[in-house]
Amino acid sequence: MTIISRRLRAARMRRRAAGAVAAVIGAVLIGACADLEIDNVNAPTSETLTGAPTRAVLARTAIGVQTEAKNDLGGEIQQWGIYGREGWNLNGNDPRETGEEISGPQEPGGRAGGSWSGKYGAIRTINTYLTGLGLATDMTPEEVSASQGFAKTLKAWHLHKLAIRSGPVGMPIDVDRPIEAEPAPLVTSEAAMEAASAMLDEALADLQAGGASFPFAFVPGFEGFETPSSFAKFNRALAAKVYVHRATFYSCAACWAQAATAMSASFVSASGLPGSLKDGVYYGYTGDPGEAANPVSETLDNNRYWVHPSIITGAQLRGSGEPDLRLTSKTFPAAAPRTLNDLTGTHKPVMYNDPDDPSIPDRGADVPWIINEELLLLRAEIRWNTGDKPGAISDIDLVRVNAGGLAPTTLTAGSSDDAFIDELLYNRLYSLMWTQGTRWIDARRYNRTGDLPIDRPGDVVHQHMLIPTAECDARGLQVPCTIGG
Amino acid sequence: MRIRRMLFALAAILALPQLAAAQETRQITGKVTVVGGEVPIAGAIVSVEGTTMETRTNNDGDFRLIVYTGQVIVQARAIGYKRAVQTVQGDQSTVNFSLERDVLQIEGVVVTGQATTIDRRSATTAVAHVSGDALNTVAAPTLQNALVGRVSGVNIQSNSGAPGGGLQMQVRGNNTILGSFDPLYVVDGVLYSNQTIASGRGAISAAAFTAAEDDGVSRVADINPANIESIEILKGAAASSIYGSKAANGVVIIKTKRGQVGAPRVTVRQRVGQFQPSKDLDSRHWTRDEAIAKYGAGVAHWFDGNSSPYFNHFDQVFSNDKLSYETGIDVSGGSEFTRYFVGGTWKRDEGIEPGTGFGRQNLRVNVDQTIAEKFQMQVSTVFNRAEHERGWNNNCNNFACHGYAFAYTPSFVDLNARDANGNFLTPDWGIQANSIQTTELARNEEETNRFTGGINLNWDAVNTGTQTLRVVAATGLDAFQQNNNLWTPNELFFERSQTLPGVAIEGDGLSRIFNWNVNAIHNFIPGGGSWSLNTSAGIQFGENYLKTSRITTTNLVPGQQNVGQGTNTTGTENLTKERTIAFYGQEEVRLFDETLLLQAGLRAERSSVNGDIDKYYVFPKVSASYRILDVLGQGSEIKPRIAYGETGNLPGFNQKFTLLGTPQLGGLTGFTVAGASGSAIVAPERVKEIEVGIDGLAMDGRLTWELTGFNRNTTNLLLQRVPAPSTGFSSQVFNGGKIANRGFEAGIGVTPVQRSNLIWVSRATYTMYRSEVKDLAGLPAFRPPLSGFGGLGVTFIEVGEPITQLVGRAFDENGERTSTDVQIGNTAPDFRMGFTNDISYKALNFSAVLDYQKGGDIINLTQFLYDDAGTSHDYGSPEWEYRMKGYNNGVMTPYIEDASFLKLREVSVGMALPDSWVARAGLGIKSARVNLTGRDLLTWQKYTGLDPEVANLGSAAIRNNLDVAAYPPSRSFFLDISLGF
């Protein structure tokens, strides 16, 4: 091999080496420019709601706010119903149903810590919505105001229910803060209910400044209350109820008058009875594919829900000798009684079944949120406590006669407060049973939990729920924690 | 940007070294053959030591090699043979080599990078190696079945006995809680998906965990064991760090068969065999009075004409004895420029449950083409169609599953009993289900079509005798579509009692992995070869796409199975996509005549699933080995080695996103802030591992061993904290904490006899590791996802305890139920061992694989079901009373059992038919073999249930060894005939 050929070979090698290096550098350049921005297309991300959300996004969020009003509802109907002896769960697949719920002790990591996260989740959505409304650029001031009034009404309602569940253990309300921030401080439930009242009043002002229509649609359940002015009547109904609760839970004497004012602006009506008893706002269900179904509706041969026997035996009789219509329309005898852990049920709740054939569950049955029947009873309570006792008796009778098919009450203006409360609570129970834990809440409001039936030795009536373990843990507090520490 | 600058610098260095100064050269020729015969070895590599000069032998074993003038040392090596070295004098122009068979696999190379390998003798890390022949001796449903007992450091366990796969493979223990927990599979350089896509069965059978209890097929089942040439498993972080943040759980590198130069060789293989149940469970015997007392007078008729009826429902239901078969044809061959391998397989495994089974149709075409003198192309393609019918087993709360229903079906019931019209009797024993009816009417079918293909281009750009520069580029695609069809018709007893009877499910999964890489490799052997440098650098890009969707319809029109033929239809869809780009560089230095090897490498990568997609995560590795020669006699070697490496585990696709809820009502859809909060700063988990070992060979290569100890820590774990619920969020992903895994593994190979007509090769593997949760970044102890059933024994992540511990209530020293959960078991075995023996005597061959697991605990919830139903076979006995004390008090310790087992995994007896017989048959047959094989023939176990190797929640990061009426285990026998043309 000559020196020349060697040089030629070396030159060829150099050219090839340069080519090889160029190939690699080219690949590096292509690779370095690779686009790694990949969106998540499975669901909208939180960025959709931050910044200045569009009108369309906010309209959808309003629908989300409406659907989240139902958060925790199925659990509450059952759990608060069991606490207040409206019914039992005798399925037998969870020992807590006939144990912890009725005889304690309450477990903050489980059932007794419930009815919390669902509502705070809803409040998170509402707060995000309210923030978005403040930044929206394609909505009129009236639309923003109407939307705020709507959202604050629902937020206040969540706070109010949280206050009911928590009672003396307290709860946080100032929760509109980043996930990384210190958890909001605990306040008393009394303060929380006061905040709820204030928020409802603020919401009313927003609704009144909200023009003629909302910039979003409503899910089933709000029929008749879908404009700012009609929604304001719903707002006032809730406000009246919250004032009544503050008056009874926390002896807020001034609240009775405020309740009366709110009530007069609500949709309460003595005309069109008995049909108008059911007018009002409902938690809507459809049971359609992909949509929520009524959480407590079930067949007659299902072993879950049973009516407490005291409700069967306690019903007053009509002139015909038949029991209160509200009992016969809302309960139905099971084919066979069921006994579990010394508790025996004979009747099934069927208010969410087909009225013509109670054996058929209605997956689309709505749950009353606040309806005229309850408003009449609330107005009776307000009137009794604001000096209008004949008016109170007349309201009670509207419900007794039209809903229960019963004779008018024997109460007179001279009856004792206790006698009135007996009559009020009887009617509230039969009108509102298995919708909102009314027996438990009313007994607590009037210090009558001691009067609730005790079925087995050692059973107790729980006075409130607990702050969930995870909430205490996140605050570094000993479980179970309370506002006291 | 810093990375890019670094790489430019690297490229500049590569180009720098002197490329001229070549010495005078000459040519030598010779032949490479098998020792003791004239059989030529084609494709053997003949090279000059201390230089980069090398060549390959042709079809006749002949070679022609350019060497320097003067004396040179020439080496010949070939896959499957021990290398040989000869000194060639300056005046010598021919040299011949005869190579000995490498029965213990001393030779060969191990992977050190995307395009680099190193002699196994010098390897700095423990890399498990299995040859394709070993995998294919005994018919195996899937690759993982075939690997059991053959590799150390790897724990392979099946989830159930369902046909066609569903195994879990764990390399060096559990290393993650929320991250991916499967090894990375790479087939011929193509990243290969091992996704498990649930069938949706749980939606029908009312399973507690709807996806995890579906008996899903891990899609590595699509790899045809018959195609495999070799498998390497990169276990430690130092070895696997070349795959960066996908390699935390090890890497399984599979090479498939390729053509050799030569005339076409045809191999036809036919297998016929059968699967049989290997165990069943007994049930309580009943008297008429007992039966009536428990089930009512309605069951009295079962005792008509028979005072003690007893039916074993396992025998009644798991009765499928159809034959299974596998037909395979391989054709390979090639010329100097083109080599090819074509393999086809047609296979059907029948499951013991009627209507279940596994089928495969597979076609592989591999082509190697020399495009130009220095330019080679390798193409690898395979199409695989798989059918799986997995049946009806595992946990289900409506008795759609057999084992579960058996517990509640008393033994006096004849499931085959029918009325005058041939219809099954309406169940009168308390549950609405008849398993035989279920096997006859219910469908659970899965079909997967998969293409995997890759191209590898190799350009030997420069070879000066002292330096080479190679550019390797590769790209590949792995794509499959899985379709699931389930149908439970309205007339099934368990459907009749539903509100919306009859279910049809149409499920689809679409997976696509695309990747490419470009590498430059520079090898520098300065004069004489006492030291050398190997420098490589490259870039790799990968995209991983997976879409799953499912349509479920209930309330079907009777008799109809179309998802359009029902009133209540819902759909789901989920799409994930991940892109990762990585740059890497690595340096290998050999010193002291190639006895000391030092390696160091760095991989920097960024990925779309990280919170910061612009950030490069860097994974370093450094390792060394030193070969001490001739300590234990001539030819012996002892090699101490040490390695440190880091790898990662990428976050899940969803973990950086906070998704909105989209509730629907009244035809409207809303937005809500959902409970799970993502983390905008989520980052990969990081595995840091140090590994030390001593490998060696002695007795003329008849004894080899590999001993390895490792200590790995996974840091920056992906964890979920629970924020204050009043924030409105229920969980948030974050990085933190640490898990430690320490272990020891050994592989020993010995050839007790090696004569010309008798060879006995024996191997043993040992695997042991211990895990400990070191730190949870302040989180309280928690149940990981898919931990099990609360109160029935669950896995539990707790600082200071093994990650695989089981907790539950126990009895304290006073016999009282403990007030809190305590540790009641550990699912990880104490250790595992495998024993493999191959004996060849003349034309006869015998081989066996034993698999031993010591320890580990299993939760026998199947027994729990029988006790719940009052149907246990030992009803009323002291053992039963002991269990019932636990049952009645919510104490699980009586149901925790020892999972130790010894299984005879494989047995094969065969012979090569004498050439004279073969010749007499004519037909061009050159060779013929007949084998009788068996898999899982015998099991010795302490477990009272069916199979201690079971996991109801199959695809869980932390295996919980839950036995909830799984598909029963089976054994298989095959007659195997292969003919060579």
Alpha-carbon distance of B98 to B81, in angstroms, equals: 10
Task: Return the residue in B672, B722, B819, B888 with the most chain A beta carbons within 10 A, the one to mutate for interface testing.
Answer: B672
Mark yes or no for CB contact B673/A34 under 8 Å.
no
Residue A451 has pLDDT above 90, yes or no: yes
Alpha-carbon distance of B883 to B893, in angstroms, equals: 8
In this prediction, residues B288-306 reach a mean pLDDT of 91
Mark yes or no for CB contact B725/A27 under 8 Å.
no
Residue count of chain B: 981
Alpha-carbon distance of B224 to B343, in angstroms, equals: 10
Is B964 within 8 Å of B862 (Cβ atoms)? yes
Residue A362 has pLDDT above 60, yes or no: yes
Alpha-carbon distance of B184 to B836, in angstroms, equals: 26
Q: Is the peptide bond before B968 cis (omega within 30 degrees of 0)?
A: no
| Encoded tokens for B446 | 């899965």
Residue A350 has pLDDT above 90, yes or no: yes
Mark yes or no for CB contact B665/A40 under 8 Å.
no
Q: Is the peptide bond before A480 cis (omega within 30 degrees of 0)?
A: yes
Residue B6 has pLDDT above 50, yes or no: no
Find chain A residues with C-beta within 8 A of B727's C-beta: 120, 124, 175, 177, 179, 183
Find chain A residues with C-beta within 8 A of B514's C-beta: none
Alpha-carbon distance of B655 to B756, in angstroms, equals: 61
Find chain A residues with C-beta within 8 A of B669's C-beta: 60, 63
Share of chain B above pLDDT 90, in %: 58
Residues B532-545 have pLDDT tens digits of 899 999 999 999 99
Work out the minimum CA distance from B780 to partner chain A, whole angstroms. Answer: 9
Amino acid letter for position A257: A
Q: Taking Cα atoms as reference points, which of B558, B507, B308, B283 lies closest to residue B411? A: B283
In this prediction, residues A331-335 reach a mean pLDDT of 93
Q: What residues are paired with B470 via a beta bridge?
A: B460, B521
Predicted confidence band of residue B717 (pLDDT cuts 50, 70, 90): very high
Is B368 within 8 Å of B931 (Cβ atoms)? no
Alpha-carbon distance of B237 to A446, in angstroms, equals: 68
Residue B471 backbone dihedrals phi, psi, to 5 degrees: -120, 125
In this prediction, residues B608-626 reach a mean pLDDT of 94
CA dihedral of A198, A203, A204, A209, whole degrees rounded to 10: 140
In this prediction, residues A147-156 reach a mean pLDDT of 98
Alpha-carbon distance of B315 to B312, in angstroms, equals: 5
Predicted confidence band of residue B7 (pLDDT cuts 50, 70, 90): very low
Q: Which helix (H) or strand (E) holds A314?
A: helix A309-314
Mark yes or no for CB contact B573/A42 under 8 Å.
yes
Least confident of A71-85, A267-281, B191-205: B191-205
Q: From the list A42, A172, A220, which residue is nearest B574 (CB)?
A: A42
Residue B1 has pLDDT above 60, yes or no: no
> Does residue B577 sit in helix, strand or coil?
strand
Alpha-carbon distance of A483 to B18, in angstroms, equals: 79
- What is the model's pLDDT at position B685? 94
Residue B9 has pLDDT above 50, yes or no: no
- What is the model's pLDDT at position A93? 65
Is B470 within 8 Å of B458 (Cβ atoms)? yes
Find chain B residues with C-beta within 8 A of A301's C-beta: none
Find all residues with CB under 8 Å of A482, minimum gap 6, and list them.
Answer: A168, A169, A170, A186, A467
Task: Return the residue in A12, A14, A25 with the most chain B beta carbons within 10 A, the one to mutate for interface testing.
Answer: A25
Question: What is the bridge-based pairing of β-strands B84-88 and B962-963?
Answer: unpaired
Is A381 within 8 Å of A375 (Cβ atoms)? no
Q: Give buried/exposed letters for B117-154 (b at 16+ CB in 10 A, else e).
A: ebbbbbbbbbbbbbbbebbbbbbbbbbbbbbbbbbbbb
Residue B106 has pLDDT above 80, yes or no: no
Residues 587-616 of B with CB under 8 A from A: 606-609, 613-614
Work out the minimum CA distance from B794 to partner chain A, whole angstroms. Answer: 17
Find chain A residues with C-beta within 8 A of B499's C-beta: 299, 361
Residues B107-158 have pLDDT tens digits of 777 888 888 888 888 888 988 888 888 888 787 888 888 888 888 888 888 8
Alpha-carbon distance of B650 to B642, in angstroms, equals: 26
Residues A191-241 have pLDDT tens digits of 999 999 999 999 999 999 999 999 999 999 999 999 999 999 999 999 999
Question: Does the CB of B206 have a partner CB in chain A at under 8 Å?
Answer: no
Work out the minimum CA distance from B567 to partner chain A, whole angstroms. Answer: 9
Q: Taking Cα atoms as reference points, which of B178, B191, B357 lies closest to residue B273? A: B357
Find chain B residues with C-beta within 8 A of A286's C-beta: 665-666
Work out the minimum CA distance from A369 to partner chain B, whole angstroms. Answer: 17
Predicted confidence band of residue A2 (pLDDT cuts 50, 70, 90): low
Mark yes or no for CB contact B583/A117 under 8 Å.
no
Q: From the list A10, A42, A284, which residue is nearest B19 (CB)?
A: A10
Residue A440 has pLDDT above 90, yes or no: yes
How many beta-carbon pairs under 8 angstroms link A with B? 240
Question: Does the CB of B464 have a partner CB in chain A at under 8 Å?
Answer: yes
Find chain A residues with C-beta within 8 A of B11's C-beta: 21, 24-25
Least confident of A333-347, B134-148, B587-601, B624-638: B134-148
| Encoded tokens for A108 | 């903050």
> Does residue A405 sit in helix, strand or coil?
coil
Q: From the list A17, A175, A470, which residue is nearest B728 (CB)?
A: A175
Question: Does the CB of B520 have a partner CB in chain A at under 8 Å?
Answer: yes
Predicted confidence band of residue B12 (pLDDT cuts 50, 70, 90): very low
Mark yes or no for CB contact B579/A35 under 8 Å.
yes
Residue B265 has pLDDT above 70, yes or no: yes
Alpha-carbon distance of B235 to A112, in angstroms, equals: 48
> Does residue B366 sit in helix, strand or coil?
strand
Least confident of A410-414, B9-13, B509-513, B593-597: B9-13
| Encoded tokens for A465 | 């729920």
- Neighbouring CB atoms inside 10 A of B623's CB total 24
Q: Taking Cα atoms as reference points, which of B173, B185, B239 lies closest to residue B619? A: B239
In this predicted model, which residue has the larger pLDDT, B459 or A14?
A: B459
Work out the minimum CA distance from B5 to partner chain A, whole angstroms. Answer: 11
Residues B477-512 have pLDDT tens digits of 999 999 999 999 999 998 887 778 899 999 999 999
In this predicted model, which residue has the larger pLDDT, B973 or B6?
A: B973
Q: From the list B608, B673, B723, which residue is nearest A46 (CB)?
A: B673
Give me the residue label for tokens 């809302």: A330
Alpha-carbon distance of B42 to B44, in angstroms, equals: 6
Residues B398-423 have pLDDT tens digits of 888 999 999 999 999 999 999 999 99
Question: Does the CB of B752 have a partner CB in chain A at under 8 Å?
Answer: no
Task: Report the number of secondary-structure helices (H) and strands (E) in chain A.
Answer: 16, 10
Find chain A residues with C-beta within 8 A of B609's C-beta: 38
Q: Which residue of A lies nearest to B723 if distances are taken between CA atoms?
A: A474
Task: Return the residue in A14, A57, A291, A353 with the most chain B beta carbons within 10 A, the one to mutate for interface testing.
Answer: A291
Question: Does the CB of B853 have a partner CB in chain A at under 8 Å?
Answer: no
Give me the residue label for tokens 């029988």: B866
- What is the model's pLDDT at position A6? 67
The distance in angstroms from the start CA to the end CA of chain B is 58
In this prediction, residues B21-26 reach a mean pLDDT of 67
Residues A103-128 have pLDDT tens digits of 878 888 878 999 999 999 999 999 99
Residue B8 has pLDDT above 70, yes or no: no
CA B600 to chain centre: 28
Alpha-carbon distance of B773 to B368, in angstroms, equals: 49
- What is the model's pLDDT at position A211? 94
Predicted confidence band of residue B2 (pLDDT cuts 50, 70, 90): very low
Instruction: Please report the ipTM that was assigned to this predicted complex.
Output: 0.91
3-state secondary structure B390-432: CCCCCCCCCCCCHHHHHHCCCCCCCCCCECCCCCECCCCCCCC
Mark yes or no for CB contact B15/A42 under 8 Å.
no
- Residue ranges with strand state E in A59-127: 87-89
Q: From the list A24, A219, A473, which residue is nearest B11 (CB)?
A: A24
Residue B210 has pLDDT above 80, yes or no: no
Alpha-carbon distance of B914 to A155, in angstroms, equals: 89
Predicted confidence band of residue B431 (pLDDT cuts 50, 70, 90): confident
CA dihedral of A448, A452, A456, A460, whole degrees rounded to 10: -40
Alpha-carbon distance of B739 to B718, in angstroms, equals: 11
Residue B143 backbone dihedrals phi, psi, to 5 degrees: -55, -40
Is A33 within 8 Å of B539 (Cβ atoms)? no
Work out the minimum CA distance from A294 to partner chain B, whole angstroms. Answer: 12
Residue B785 has pLDDT above 90, yes or no: no
Is B973 within 8 Å of B933 (Cβ atoms)? yes
Residue A169 has pLDDT above 60, yes or no: yes
Residues A51-106 have pLDDT tens digits of 889 999 999 999 999 999 999 999 999 999 999 999 999 877 677 888 889 987 88
- CA gyration radius, chain A: 29
Q: From the list B541, B575, B674, which residue is nearest A31 (CB)?
A: B541
Q: Taking Cα atoms as reference points, which of B436, B428, B434, B410 lies closest to residue B869? A: B410
- In eight-state DSSP terms, residue B667 is T
- In eight-state DSSP terms, residue B120 is G
The distance in angstroms from the start CA to the end CA of chain A is 94
Residue B635 has pLDDT above 90, yes or no: no
